[in-house]
Amino acid sequence: MITATDLRLTFGEGTPLENPALRGMSLTVNQGEFVTVIGSNGAGKSTFLNALAGEVLVDSGKILVDNIDVTKLPTHKRTGRVARVFQDPLAGTCEGLSIEENLALAIKRGKRRGLGTAVKKQYLERFRSSLATLGLGLENRLTDKMGLLSGGQRQAVSLLMASLTPSSILLLDEHTAALDPKTASFVLELTQNIIAEQKLTALMVTHSMKQALEVGTRTVMLHQGEVVFDIAGKDREGLEVKDLLNLFEQQRGLTIDDDSLLLS
Amino acid sequence: MLSNIAFYGALETGLIYGLVAFGIYLSFRVLDFPDLTVDGSFPLGAAVAAMLIIAGWNPWLATGAAILAGMAAGAVTALLNVKLKILNLLASILTMIALYSINLRIMGRPNVALLMEDTVLTPWYNLGLEYHQVSVLLFTFVIGVSLFLLWRFMKSEIGLAMRATGANARMARAQGIATGGMIILGVAVSNGLVGLAGALFAQSQGAADVTMGVGVIVIGLASLIGGEAVITPTSVFRALLACVVGAIIYRLAIAFALNADALGLKAQDLNLITAVLVTLAIVLPGARVSLMNKFKRRKA
Ligand SMILES: Nc1ncnc2c1ncn2[C@@H]1O[C@H](COP(=O)(O)OP(=O)(O)O)[C@@H](O)[C@H]1O
Ligand SMILES: [Mg+2]
């Protein structure tokens, strides 16, 4: 469960480039909810996810994960509760390390690391069976370097790494945007399976309004660092992209001029 | 041809510089942290070991203290970078400069002789081996143990976390790794190895000198690059082996060059030759791409 209250964050405070990215963001996500997040470029979606993960610290406001205050904790102290997958397929894994070494890093997420061997024999069976669920044949390539894999394969492994150890929330920031359409739908399907199987609480940023409505249980739209609308349950059923656009106009008295948002 | 003494001498210094190359591998390669502290931590190790030996310490204990001193120096550099956000290269230069004064303070004068003192080498002379053979055998043992320990460390959970920190810090943080802590630990261990090298060097040369660190970084880099050209570092073990092989090849090559009268080279030309060799290795096509990138276009 996530409770974010009145988050404010200004980049470059006091400089000519001052940029308020979060302006009173508040959002409560209940256990097991799968929230899709939309909003035009620069709306603050990535910044919000970064704030939840600890990559940026907010100027004011409060972030609770499972009712524990994490507002001031650095990234590595939140990872026991927060797992994430980045937009850049190369960012979530280490290309110079082997597949099994990457997974061995992930299996220790949020736990103490010691001087014992990182890639332990008892992990291998688990690595193989997890990789086998991807259907990419990676279970036979444990010692291959990550850099040998394609972007889609690496993103699939990133997703697997995010779900290898239990976490309370999963953050996905346009994690299919850099993939070709076929790979993107494969990774999206994988995402849905993992979230359903592990009953994860998830926040998925997407550029596609259509996808935002098709996937997940709730849709939130951000604009200028705030939530403009938040729909779930009955209200969300049967909704189409044009309904979302109407909703935005009603809320803001504006039309959306971000082409990229309309195109997808 | 090289005389026996010149040959063993090159081998002996090569082995010592293998330790320096380990340290540079750790900072430059594993952590992607260009660290020039080594030019100060090498004489620091020498000074600490020399003064403690003169004060009557057991030479192995004195050598251990030199390792700790080197680690402390590395930790200072890393702290300047991690906590005070000073650019890594600049942080290391600051420590290196500071160490020059500190080394003078430790020794009380620019150089200290160890000729009459018991060193880690002394007990072995009684075994009927020649002077230079003793150091080669002992240093081979020391570097072998260091290689094994480093190799195991790199394969450990903490070692893997350190490798991830250098390769992809954002990913490392997302996996719960305290990247700042890893940088501090790694740069400390790196300079600990260099401190060890300095301590052994002082004992085999019979003296410690404040200027003995000049150019250590470049010689270490030359060893690293040379080694990687001979042994492609496809695994941690091969990368470590490359450090040792590179350092020995480098020293032998230098010995041959100085020995060949036709070339007319003198010992004082060594730093110039090394700088030219490293430059060539960095810019020539086919040189290791990663290092090339590091020096030509520094990442933020
Ligand atoms: N590290 C940063 N430094 C300065 N400004 C930033 C930084 N990250 C994001 N911003 C700015 O904050 C605003 C929100 O950005 P972001 O959260 O990335 O938007 P989104 O992901 O919704 O497209 C943008 O105006 C962006 O330029
Ligand atoms: Mg974004």
Q: What number is the average pLDDT over the span A5-25? A: 94
Strand arrangement of the beta sheet that strand A82-85 belongs to: A82-85, A169-173, A201-205, A34-38, A218-223, A226-232
pLDDT score recorded for residue A251 = 77
Kindly give, in sequence order, each residue whose CB lies less than 8 Å from that of residue B92, ignoring residues fewer than 6 positions away. B34, B35, B36, B37, B77
Q: What number is the average pLDDT over the span B249-263? A: 85
pLDDT mean across residues, chain A: 92
List, in sequence order, every beta strand (DSSP E) within chain B: 111-113, 207-209
Shortest Cα distance, chain A CAs vs residue B147, angstroms? 16
Distance CA B179, CA B173 (A): 6
CB B143 within 8 A of CB B19: yes
| A19: β partners | A11
Kindly report which listed range (A81-90, B251-260, B285-294) carries the lowest average pLDDT score. Answer: B285-294
Kindly report which listed range (A87-96, A125-134, B42-51, B286-295) carries the lowest average pLDDT score. Answer: B286-295
Q: What is the DSSP string of B14-55?
A: HHHHHHHHHHHIIIIIIS-----THHHHHHHHHHHHHHHHHT
Residue A118: what are its φ and ψ, rounded to 5°? -75, -45
pLDDT score recorded for residue B291 = 53
In the DSSP assignment, the letter for residue A8 is E
Predicted confidence band of residue B287 (pLDDT cuts 50, 70, 90): low
Q: Closest by alpha carbon to B244, among B32, B20, B76, B91?
A: B20
| Residue of B155, B167, B176 with shortest CB distance to A118 | B155
Q: Would you say residue A262 has pLDDT above 60? A: no
pLDDT mean across residues, chain B: 91
Q: Is residue A150 part of a domain?
A: no
Which two three-digit tokens encode residue A233?
Answer: 């349950």
pLDDT score recorded for residue B296 = 52
Predicted confidence band of residue A255 (pLDDT cuts 50, 70, 90): low
Kindly report which listed range (B71-80, B207-216, B270-279) carries the lowest average pLDDT score. Answer: B270-279
Q: What number is the average pLDDT over the span B241-266? A: 88
Predicted confidence band of residue B298 (pLDDT cuts 50, 70, 90): very low
CB B219 within 8 A of CB B17: yes
Which two three-digit tokens encode residue B95?
Answer: 């420590």
Q: Which ligand ends up closest to the CA of A86?
A: 2
Q: Which of A46, A49, A264 to mutate to test the pocket of ligand 1 (most atoms within 8 A of CB)?
A: A46
Q: Would you say residue B39 has pLDDT above 60? A: yes
Predicted confidence band of residue B281 (pLDDT cuts 50, 70, 90): confident
Tell me: the pLDDT tens digits for A38-63? 999 999 999 999 999 999 999 999 99
pLDDT score recorded for residue A241 = 87
Q: Is residue A137 part of a domain?
A: no
pTM of the model: 0.90
Q: Would you say residue B1 has pLDDT above 70? A: no
Distance CA B131, CA B281 (A): 35
Q: Would you say residue A231 has pLDDT above 50? A: yes
Instruction: Please tell me which residue, B101 or B6, carries the higher pLDDT value.
Output: B101
| A117: β partners | B156
pLDDT score recorded for residue A58 = 97
Q: What CATH number should be reported for the domain holding residue A48? A: 3.40.50.300
Does the domain made of B4-299 have the CATH classification 1.10.287? no
Q: Would you say residue A142 has pLDDT above 70? A: yes
Q: Would you say residue B204 has pLDDT above 70? A: yes
Q: Which of residues 52 through 71 in chain A touch B, CB cutoff 8 A?
A: 53-55
Q: Between chains, do B167 and A97 touch, taking CB under 8 Å as contact?
A: yes
pLDDT score recorded for residue A220 = 96
Ligand 1 binding pocket includes A110 (Cβ within 6 Å): no
Task: Give percent of chain B with pLDDT exceeding 70.
Answer: 94
Top residue of A93, A113, A163 to mutate, by most chain B CBs within 10 Å, is A113
Instruction: Please tell me which residue, A85 or B275, carries the higher pLDDT value.
Output: A85
Kindly give, in sequence order, each residue whose CB lies less than 8 Å from that of residue B34, ignoring residues fewer than 6 positions away. B27, B28, B88, B89, B92, B294
pLDDT score recorded for residue B288 = 52
Instruction: Please tell me which residue, A247 or B30, carries the higher pLDDT value.
Output: B30
pLDDT score recorded for residue B295 = 56
Which two three-digit tokens encode residue B106?
Answer: 């430790």
pLDDT score recorded for residue A32 = 93
Q: Would you say residue A230 has pLDDT above 70? A: yes
State the pairing for strand pair A169-173/B207-209: unpaired
Q: Between chains, do A109 and B160 touch, taking CB under 8 Å as contact?
A: no
Predicted confidence band of residue B294 (pLDDT cuts 50, 70, 90): low
Half-sphere exposure of B36 (CA within 13 A, CB side): 16
Q: What number is the average pLDDT over the span B255-269? A: 81
Q: Would you say residue B299 has pLDDT above 80? A: no
Task: Give percent of chain B with pLDDT exceeding 90.
Answer: 76
List, in sequence order, every beta strand (DSSP E) within chain A: 2-11, 19-29, 34-38, 60-65, 68-69, 82-85, 169-173, 201-205, 218-223, 226-232
In the DSSP assignment, the letter for residue A64 is E
Instruction: Please tell me which residue of chain A has the smallest CA distance to B178.
Output: A76
Q: Is residue A118 part of a domain?
A: no
pLDDT score recorded for residue B125 = 84
Q: Would you say residue A263 has pLDDT above 50? A: no
A106 touches chain B (CB under 8 A): yes
Kindly give, in sequence order, each residue whose CB lies less than 8 Å from that of residue B111, ignoring residues fewer than 6 positions away. B207, B208, B209, B210
- Tokens 């972007």, residue located: A151
CB B191 within 8 A of CB B23: yes
Q: Between chains, do B160 and A104 touch, taking CB under 8 Å as contact?
A: yes
Ligand 1 binding pocket includes A44 (Cβ within 6 Å): yes
Tell me: the pLDDT tens digits for B40-88? 999 999 999 999 999 999 999 999 999 999 999 999 999 999 999 999 9
Domain containing A207 equals: 2-95+166-263
pLDDT score recorded for residue B2 = 78
Q: Closest by alpha carbon to A202, among A40, A193, B173?
A: A193
Q: Total domain count for chain A?
A: 1
pLDDT score recorded for residue B289 = 52
pLDDT score recorded for residue A264 = 45
Q: Is residue A145 part of a domain?
A: no
Task: Give percent of chain A with pLDDT exceeding 70.
Answer: 95
Q: Closest by alpha carbon to B290, among B239, B218, B216?
A: B239
Tell me: the pLDDT tens digits for B123-170? 888 887 887 789 999 999 999 999 999 999 999 999 999 999 999 999
State the pairing for strand pair A201-205/A34-38: parallel
For chain B, domain boundaries: 4-299
